[in-house]
């Protein structure tokens, strides 16, 4: 076996932070795309004459394409220069933002949000992959804290910015245009600061598997979202969507296991206990977290009569908890190397917070609602990023992109299913509660016959509560307030399942090298002892102007197995 060159110089903390600046800015833009629009959605749907189903699909469209493409981006990161991929994701996201800002109707807006989701999927998958390329698992906790802080900053500033923009002369369209200059800035910063070694491998993209996975997931999510409103749960349309989706996913699994040379989702990763349990937990967390919390802005505006800006201020409670717990847990994990206790503690907070939010209605004191949201935020901050960290610690370097995106993929998949299903539940419960309340008004003679006739011809659109007559507005607010609590009760069992999965994950102290796992090192030692060749990927130094191309003269081969990151003490 040829001797490896060991003189590659590890990146210092300062160099890593400099490279992460553009990457985290790009992630901030991606996260901002969802949070900045959240408080604008009630106004958007009202202006474009949309329904509760339309509201749900403005959210689901982004989650759907983000979910379906996350594993593809992760696999591409194992084959192509990561900087080029990150910048491509930013460009796609910017195009989607421009189309969304110009959308004349709900259909166009939903399509534009789907394009945005393609770019968000890239950023979601690639941020973790790039960090894994630069930082050892032991040090990664510190930088995962930075990711959590960025996520928190986007979540805090997004609703506030969104509310201010919607209430300004720019209107809701400005919430989409805001992302474009920020994405351009991230693109430029990345060009100047992000320079990574590129793994030289034969390129083989599993187009068939990717297409089948996207089609199967899409069919099931469409069914979850539309069943019960556009067609019956038990109907020919339901059978076609469910049956077709399951068949497509089954074929995709067969392709990934038997046909694909380089599968989008390498099924061998599930042989690892930590990866399997973390993936299952990510699905459940996605259902609970995205499914229940995405409708909180509607609750504050429709059930509590707040403006978009006021609703944005209420989100600080949840995001403050997320910010503190993600930074604190990341730093302590880096110092100790142990992470499971944070996952367990985080899920205790999530389950408790969801259970308490299940008690809210239109009359719950706002300080209590804020406290319950803070508990959920603390739990999510200690759980979400650290699940990815646990998986990366058990993953070989050549599978880092696929494994990192795998957790993000299943979390997004759970989120997409949760938003779709709970959105359908919310729509039905609000409709039923509103109908019962109107019935009581009619019986009491408190509603004008002309108003009743107008309500009978309503197509289910989300009303502008401020324009409804007082008694009818009260009925709608209480119907929505009662319905939102039910969503959190539905989310509790999913959070409990995630908690159970985390309990059974075996804790492995974080590695302090960028090379292969302990098991792989032992395997390599056995091969070397018997004289068998070891086929590790070859890394090449990438100059500032190479952008992923092999340097002139063939480059310098580097054995990353011996790389470690120096703790310079810089904070």
Residue 385 to residue 382: CA distance in whole angstroms: 7
CB 272 within 8 Å of CB 394: yes
Do the beta carbons of residue 373 and residue 353 sit within 8 Å? yes
| DSSP string covering 495-546 | HHHHHHHHHTPPP-PPPSSSS--HHHHHHHHHHHHHT----PPPEE---TTT
Rounded mean pLDDT of the chain?
74
* 256-307 tens-digit pLDDT: 888 877 777 778 888 888 888 988 888 888 887 776 677 787 788 888 888 7
- Rounded average pLDDT per 10-residue block, the chain, 571 residues: 40 71 81 74 79 73 77 76 86 92 88 90 79 70 67 67 78 85 86 67 71 82 72 84 92 86 78 86 82 76 79 79 82 81 91 92 90 90 81 73 73 76 80 79 69 51 65 81 87 91 84 51 42 39 37 37 35 36
pTM score: 0.67
Determine the 3-state secondary structure of 198 from DSSP.
strand
Let me know: does 282 contact 492? Beta carbons within 8 Å.
no
Which residues, including other chains, have CB under 8 Å from residue 562's CB and lie 6 or more apart? 4, 6, 513, 515
In this predicted model, what pLDDT tens digit does every residue of 14-61 receive, in sequence order? 767 777 777 888 888 887 777 677 767 778 887 887 766 677 778 778
DSSP string over 114-168: HHHHHHHHHHHHHHHHHHHHHS-HHHHHHHHHHHHHHHHHHHHHHHHHHHHHHTS
Instruction: Write down the domain spans for the chain.
Output: 206-261, 519-562
Q: Give the model confidence (pLDDT) of 69-100 as tens digits.
A: 777 787 777 777 888 888 899 999 999 999 99
DSSP code of 228?
T
């Amino acid at each position: 076996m040829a001797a490896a060159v060991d003189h590659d110089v590890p990146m210092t903390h300062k160099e890593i932070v400099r490279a992460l600046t553009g990457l985290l800015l790009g992630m901030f833009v991606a996260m901002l795309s969802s949070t900045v629009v959240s408080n604008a959605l009630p106004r958007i749907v009202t202006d474009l004459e949309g329904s509760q189903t339309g509201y749900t699909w403005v959210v689901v469209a982004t989650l759907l394409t983000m979910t379906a493409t996350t594993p593809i981006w992760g696999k591409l990161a194992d084959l192509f220069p990561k900087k080029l991929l990150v910048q491509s994701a930013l460009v796609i996201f910017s195009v989607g933002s421009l189309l969304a800002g110009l959308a004349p109707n709900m259909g166009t807006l939903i399509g534009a949000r789907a394009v945005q989701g393609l770019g968000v999927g890239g950023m979601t998958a690639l941020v973790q992959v790039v960090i894994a390329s630069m930082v050892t698992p032991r040090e990664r906790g510190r930088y995962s804290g930075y990711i959590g802080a960025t996520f928190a900053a986007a979540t805090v500033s997004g609703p506030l910015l969104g509310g201010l923009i919607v209430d300004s002369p720019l209107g809701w369209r400005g919430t989409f245009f805001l992302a474009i200059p920020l994405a351009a800035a991230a693109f430029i910063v990345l060009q100047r600061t992000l320079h990574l070694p590129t793994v030289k491998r034969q390129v083989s993209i599993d187009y068939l598997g990717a297409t089948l996975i996207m089609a199967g997931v899409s069919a099931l999510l469409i069914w979850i979202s539309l069943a019960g409103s556009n067609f019956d749960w038990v109907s020919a349309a339901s059978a076609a969507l469910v049956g077709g989706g399951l068949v497509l996913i089954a074929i995709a699994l067969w392709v990934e296991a038997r046909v694909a040379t380089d599968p989008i989702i390498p099924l061998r990763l599930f042989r690892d206990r930590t990866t399997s349990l973390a993936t299952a937990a990510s699905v459940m967390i996605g259902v609970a977290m995205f499914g229940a919390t995405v409708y909180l802005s509607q609750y504050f505006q429709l059930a509590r009569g707040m403006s978009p800006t006021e609703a944005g201020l209420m989100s600080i409670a949840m995001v403050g908890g997320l910010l503190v717990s993600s930074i604190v847990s990341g730093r302590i994990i880096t110092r100790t190397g142990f992470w499971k206790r944070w996952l367990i503690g985080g899920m205790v907070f999530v389950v408790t917070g969801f259970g308490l939010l299940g008690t809210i209605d239109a009359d719950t004191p706002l300080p209590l609602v804020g406290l319950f949201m803070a508990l959920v935020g603390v739990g999510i901050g200690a759980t979400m990023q650290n699940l990815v960290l646990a998986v990366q610690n058990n993953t070989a370097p050549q599978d880092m992109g696929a494994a990192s995106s795998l957790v993000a993929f299943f979390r997004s998949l759970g989120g997409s299913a949760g938003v779709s299903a709970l959105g359908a539940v919310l729509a039905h419960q609000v409709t039923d509660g509103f109908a019962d309340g109107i019935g009581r008004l009619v019986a009491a003679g408190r509603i004008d016959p002309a108003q009743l006739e107008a309500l009978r011809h309503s197509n289910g659109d989300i009303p502008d509560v401020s324009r409804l007559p007082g008694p009818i507005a009260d009925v709608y607010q209480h119907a929505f307030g009662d319905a939102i609590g039910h969503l959190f009760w539905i989310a509790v069992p999913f959070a409990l399942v995630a908690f159970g999965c985390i309990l059974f994950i075996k804790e492995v102290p974080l590695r302090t090298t960028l090379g292969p796992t302990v098991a792989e090192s032992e395997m390599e030692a056995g091969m070397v002892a018997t004289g068998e060749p070891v086929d590790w990927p070859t890394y090449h130094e990438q100059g500032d102007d190479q952008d992923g191309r092999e340097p002139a003269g063939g480059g310098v081969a580097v054995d990353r197995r011996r790389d470690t990151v120096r703790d310079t003490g810089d904070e």
